[in-house]
């Protein structure tokens, strides 16, 4: 499965790890997968770990659409993308710029340690 989902109730974190080829359909469906998970709480924060992506078939138009759509998380929730240097980091940074109103607490980092530090969960 290209996206694995783990909800850490103790740390109040929704952790998604992306692997291999990621398509637009998977990106679109992922929020619903999170929302329908029995352990999901919208007050939790989110980590999207993109280090396992080998190929990405996602348009800038979709990123724009998702960035301006309402988040399934509360406005105070923090969102962090772990992205390797390069194209994925550039796309995550662009998304952060587009999502300033819908996801004001958003960071792009390179490591899990930085992600948990940003969330205050280290």
pLDDT of residue 1 exceeding 80, the answer is: no
Question: What CATH number does residue 38 fall under?
Answer: 3.30.750.24
Domain that holds residue 88: 3-119
What band does 122 get if pLDDT is binned at 50, 70 and 90? low
pLDDT of residue 94 exceeding 60, the answer is: yes
What band does 27 get if pLDDT is binned at 50, 70 and 90? confident
8 A C-beta contact, residue 119 and residue 80? yes
The predicted pLDDT at position 121 comes to: 81
pLDDT per residue over 41-69, tens digit each?
999 999 999 999 999 898 999 999 999 99
The predicted pLDDT at position 9 comes to: 96
Counting the structural domains of the chain, the total is 1
């Amino acid at each position: 499965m290209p996206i694995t989902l783990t909800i850490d109730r103790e740390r109040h974190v929704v952790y998604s790890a992306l692997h291999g080829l990621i398509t637009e359909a998977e990106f679109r469906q992922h929020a619903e997968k999170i929302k329908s998970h029995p352990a999901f709480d919208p007050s939790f924060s989110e980590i999207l770990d993109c280090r396992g992506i080998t190929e990405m078939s996602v348009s800038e138009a979709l990123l724009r659409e998702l960035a301006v759509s309402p988040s399934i998380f509360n406005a105070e929730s923090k969102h962090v993308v772990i992205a390797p240097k390069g194209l994925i980091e550039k796309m995550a940074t662009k998304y952060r710029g587009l999502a300033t109103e819908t996801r004001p607490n958003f960071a792009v980092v390179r490591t899990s340690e930085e992600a948990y530090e940003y969330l205050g969960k280290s």
